[in-house]
Amino acid sequence: MTEPAPSRIDDACDSANRRVHVITYGCQMNVYDSRRIVQVLGAQGWVETGDPAMADLVLVNSCSVRDRPEQKILGTLSRLLPLKEAHPGVRFGVCGCVAQQHGQALLDKVPYIDLVFGPDRIADLPAILAATEDGRRESRTTLDAPSDYSFLDVDPSVEPGPTAFLTIMKGCDRFCAYCIVPYVRGRQVSKAADRVLAEVQSLVAGGVREVTLLGQNVNAYGKDRPGEPDFPSLLSRIAAVPGLDRLRFVTSHPADADDRMLDSFGALPVLAESLHLPVQSGSDTVLARMRRGYTAAQYLERLARVRRACPDIALSTDFIVGFPGETDAEFDATLRLVETARFDSMFSFKYSPRPGTLAARTIDDVPEALKAQRLARLQAVQDRITIQRMARYLGREEEVLIEGPSRDTRSGGRGKAILEMQGRTRTNLTVNLPADIPIREARGRLARVRIDEVLVHSLRGTVLAWEAA
Ligand code: 5AD
Ligand code: SF4
């Protein structure tokens, strides 16, 4: 989840345009913010380039949720330093959560960074660039008060394909003990429902077929806007938008995942059959120390409810191992929950203290080697279950939305025909398949596909029928 997402290469550069190269780490919210950065700069005549050597501005959109985020961005930028030496006019910037967290301190510490801006300051980018035109350096990290926050409208023309993210809220009010998000992204602010609907309509009109709604805790959507619809009502309203084929959302908090939300699966045909519901631990005592607001039994009851509503749903989750004070018995409770829940897939992380959070006041007392051992044991259990869950796809017919050339063959040799294409099932699994029509015609179309082979995390199949063009 923390690998940089590829930048879209815009071939439409002409020499008069200035070029920006954006490197994105972290969650979908950062991917979304990077599109907004390209959009704001596009309005000023900038174009995006996939080649940092061509760029006048290199931006690293950073993530501070785990690991050693500062080292990661400094490593990335220092590798690009020769570009600055070759072209002294090139500016380096850091944005995203690390920028928000460290602000001016990044400029003080790292001489080759020219600009730093937080997630609430994307709209200020033209002013920041004007201020740093002549070699001056600038940091802007003010977080807007919820009442002042204004979302940037999504522009379908900067979306890279038939799928798009759409932010419906920013920030988070939950303050889980380990999590830095409420500090770097601020308090929860929901976007007005009418605006969300207008944006979905404009994405669909621009050719987008699948929309993923984004927020740190989408289930709490609307709670900060009295009179606005809540999340299940928002889903119903979006489901009525003509032309939208698939709707997804991330991320959900189990304590806010109410029955109406869970029952939407199965009830709203547009809602694709996958749900990411982070549990973090299977131990009630760890969950209490994490301040998650539910027990393991309540979590499992949420899973049972959504499976009753939609039996084939693909369920994924997040775990943190080695939270302060985690005992062997508490970790065993996590393993038991994994056996019971039978997730389709899982992301799991070693706990790392984040400055300023509640948990960081407690000693990080689980030794690194034990965290690594627990992570490996947890992943081994899930790997076995994933293989069992994946087996059900063999021989099945799936609806696949074709996104483009397959990753394996995309870069294969200049001028060579790319024969493999890639798409996703409604359960959000990647399918690679031979291209029986030119990929540019296939892109953005739905196909009925027979699954011929099940791999560890992806499928292979053959097109049985195309939807009418
Ligand atoms: N240490 C380890 N993992 C973390 N996550 C969030 N904060 C931390 C932390 N301090 C994980 C959680 C969350 C996912 C996005 O990142 O599992 O769901
Ligand atoms: Fe962090 Fe908890 Fe908010 Fe998720 S719900 S962003 S884990 S504070």
Query: Could you tell me which of 445, 457, 424 has the C-alpha nearest to residue 273?
Result: 424
Q: Whose CA is nearest to atom 5 of ligand 2?
A: 174
The Cα-based distances of 223 to 148, 172, 174 in angstroms read 17, 11, 12
Q: Look at residue 69 in the predicted model and tell me its pLDDT.
A: 79
Tokens found for residue 63:
């993530």
Mutate which of 174, 281, 317 for ligand 2 pocket (most atoms within 8 A of beta carbon) = 174
Ligand nearest to the CA of 290: 2
Residue 367 has pLDDT above 80, yes or no: yes
Quick check: CB of 186 below 6 Å from ligand 2?
Answer: no
Instruction: Provide the pLDDT confidence category of residue 154 given band limits of 50, 70 and 90.
Output: confident
pLDDT of 111 strictly over 90: yes
**Cα(217) to centroid(ligand 2), Å:** 7
Ligand closest to Cα of 177 equals: 2
Q: 132 C-alpha vs ligand 2 centroid, how far in Å?
A: 34
Give 197-221 pLDDT, tens digit per residue: 999 999 999 999 999 999 999 999 9
Q: Which residues pair with 212 in a beta bridge?
A: 165, 248
- Is the domain spanning 11-142 CATH 3.40.50.12160? The answer is yes
Hey, whose CA ends up nearest to atom 14 of ligand 1?
Answer: 318
Tell me the mean pLDDT in the region 343-357: 96
Amino acid identity for residue 186 in this structure: G
Given this model, what pLDDT does residue 13 score?
Answer: 45
What confidence score (pLDDT) does residue 160 get? 66
Quick one: pLDDT at residue 468? 78
Distance, CA of 224 to CA of 232 (rounded, Å) = 15
Q: Is the Cβ atom of 323 under 6 angstroms away from ligand 1?
A: no
| Per-residue pLDDT at 12 | 46
**What pLDDT was estimated at residue 410?**
46
279 pLDDT above the threshold of 70? yes
- The correct CATH number of 394-466 out of 2.40.50.140, 3.40.30.10, 2.60.120.10, 2.40.70.10 is 2.40.50.140
Atom 18 in ligand 1: which residue has the minimum CA distance?
Answer: 318
Checking if the pLDDT of 8 tops 70, the result is no
Please report the pLDDT score of residue 19 as a whole number: 96
- Chain segment 431-464, per-residue pLDDT in tens: 999 998 999 899 999 999 999 999 988 999 999 9
Reported as a pLDDT band with limits 50, 70 and 90, residue 419 is: confident
Task: Count CB neighbours of 467 within 10 A.
Answer: 11
Give me the chain's average pLDDT, please: 92
| pTM score of the predicted model | 0.91
Does residue 267 surpass a pLDDT of 50? yes
Q: Residue 3 pLDDT > 70, yes or no?
A: no
Instruction: Taking residues 144-169, report their average pLDDT.
Output: 85
Give the model's pLDDT for residue 175.
95
Kindly state if the Cβ of 96 falls inside 6 Å of ligand 2.
Answer: no
Q: What is the pLDDT of residue 9?
A: 42
Domain ranges of the chain: 11-142, 147-392, 394-466
Q: Which ligand is nearest to the CA of 322?
A: 1
Question: Which pLDDT value is given to residue 67?
Answer: 73
Tokens 């009502």, located at residue: 233
Is the beta carbon of 65 within 6 A of some atom in ligand 1? yes
pLDDT level of residue 408 (50, 70, 90 thresholds): low
- Does the pLDDT of residue 411 top 70, yes or no? no
pLDDT in tens, 290-310: 999 999 999 999 999 999 999
What is the whole-number distance in angstroms between the Cα of residue 300 and the centre of ligand 2?
A: 19
Distance 174 CA to ligand 2 centre (A): 6
- Ligand 1 pocket mutation pick from 29, 66, 98, 280 by most atoms within 8 angstroms of CB: 66
Reply yes or no on whether the pLDDT at 287 is more than 60: yes
Gap from CA of 176 to ligand 2 centroid (Å): 5
At residue 341 the predicted structure's pLDDT band, cuts being 50, 70 and 90, is very high
Placement of tokens 């011929």 in the chain: 452
Calculate how far, in angstroms, residue 50's C-alpha sits from the geometric centre of ligand 1. 30
* Ligand 1 pocket mutation, candidates 181, 349, 362, 379, criterion most atoms within 8 A of CB: 349
Fold classified for 147-392: pyruvate-formate lyase- activating enzyme (3.80.30)
Q: Which of 179, 279, 350 to mutate to test the pocket of ligand 1 (most atoms within 8 A of CB)?
A: 179
What share of the chain in percent tops pLDDT 90? Answer: 81
Question: Which residue is closest in CA terms to ligand 2's atom 1?
Answer: 179
Are residues 131 and 173 in contact, defined by beta-carbon separation less than 8 angstroms? Answer: no
Of 157-161, 320-324, 395-399, the least confident: 157-161
Q: What number of residues does the chain have?
A: 469
Mean pLDDT for the stretch of residues 54-72: 89
Q: Which atom of ligand 1 is nearest to the CA of 350?
A: 2
Ligand nearest 176 Cα, by number? 2
Cβ of 172 less than 6 Å from ligand 2: yes
> What's the confidence (pLDDT) of residue 329?
98
Q: Whose CA is nearest to atom 4 of ligand 2?
A: 216
Q: Please work out whether the CB of residue 280 comes within 6 Å of at least one atom of ligand 1.
A: yes
Above 60 in pLDDT, residue 265? yes
The residues facing 24 across adjacent strands are 5, 61
What string of H, E and C letters represents the secondary structure of the chain? CCCCECCCCCCCCCCCCEEEEEEECCCHHHHHHHHHHHHHHHCCCEEECCCHHHCCEEEEEECCCCCCHHHHHHHHHHHCHHHHHHCCCCEEEEEHHHHHHHCHHHHHHCCCCCEEECHHHHHHHHHHHHHCCCCCCEEECCCCCHHHCCCCCCCHHHCCCCEEEEECEECCCCCCCCCCHHHHHCCCEECCHHHHHHHHHHHHHCCCCEEEEECCCHHHCCCCCCCCCCHHHHHHHHHCCCCCCEEEEECCCHHHCCHHHHHHHHHCCCECCEEECCCECCCHHHHHHHCCCCCHHHHHHHHHHHHHHCCCCEEEEEEEECCCCCCHHHHHHHHHHHHHHCCCEEEEEECCCCCCCCHHHCCCCCCHHHHHHHHHHHHHHHHHHHHHHHHHHCCCEEEEEEEEECHHHHCCCCCCCCCEEEEECCCCCEEEEECCCCHHHHCCCEEEEEEEEECCCEEEEEEEEECCC
Distance 178 CA to ligand 1 centre (A): 7
Read off the pLDDT band of 147 (50, 70, 90). Answer: confident
Q: Is 179 in the pocket of ligand 2 (CB under 6 A)?
A: yes
| Selected residue with higher pLDDT from 70 and 234 | 234
Q: How far is CA 367 from CA 178, 191, 326, 352, 358, in A?
A: 17, 42, 11, 11, 20
**CA–CA distance, 7 with 108 (Å, rounded to integer):** 29
pLDDT in tens, 242-255: 999 999 999 999 99
Please give the pLDDT value at position 10. Answer: 45
Q: Which atom of ligand 2 is nearest to the CA of 292?
A: 2
The Å distance, Cα 319 to ligand 2 centre, comes to 13
